Structure 1
Amino acid sequence: MGFDEKAQNKAQEFQGKAKEFVGDKTGDENLQADGAADQAESGAKKAAENVKDAAKNLKDGLTGN
């Protein structure tokens, strides 16, 4: 995941938090759910990237790269 993708992922996370906050304050359950979904998607992308990085580090450690 390049810098641009990381920035987009972080923006999606913040957007989700904002949607959830506004939905909570206005009583809009659909907006709350949409915000929570944005945050969950962002978290899943981050977790996948962490797994990918760990696998690369393991491979590099085993091959001496």
Structure 2
Amino acid sequence: MDPDAMVRAVEEVHEARVLRLARTGEYAVQRRREKRTGRRHRLVPRAPYSGRAARTSMM
């Protein structure tokens, strides 16, 4: 593989990671804000997991 191509690929991945981490941080702040204001909650409670029920429903 071309060493210059490898360097470009690593730089591109690094830039994408930096952007993704920034967006992840923004999203976390948004979710905490929504939770504080009561805008984020589970609408339908999940049924508790039951190993046996889960296995029999898959058959």
Structure with higher helix content:
1
Whether the TM-score (by the shorter chain) exceeds 0.5 is: yes
Runs of 4+ in 1 over 3 A off after TM superposition: none
Deviation at 1:36, TM superposition (A): 0.2
Shift of 1:50: 0.7
Unaligned runs of 5+ in 1: 1-24
Report which structure shows greater RCO (CA 8 Å, sep ≥6): 1
Looking at structure 2, the residues matched to 64 and 56 of structure 1 have their Cα atoms a distance apart, in angstroms, of 12
Q: How many angstroms does 1:63 deviate by?
A: 1.1
Runs of 5+ in structure 2 lacking a partner?
Answer: 40-59
Where does residue 58 of structure 1 map in the other structure?
A: 32
Structure showing greater radius of gyration is: 2
- Aligned position for 2:9: 35
The alignment of Structure 1 onto Structure 2 pairs a total of residues equal to: 39
- Overall identity of the aligned pairs, in %: 15
Inter-partner Cα distance in structure 2 for 1:57 and 1:35: 32
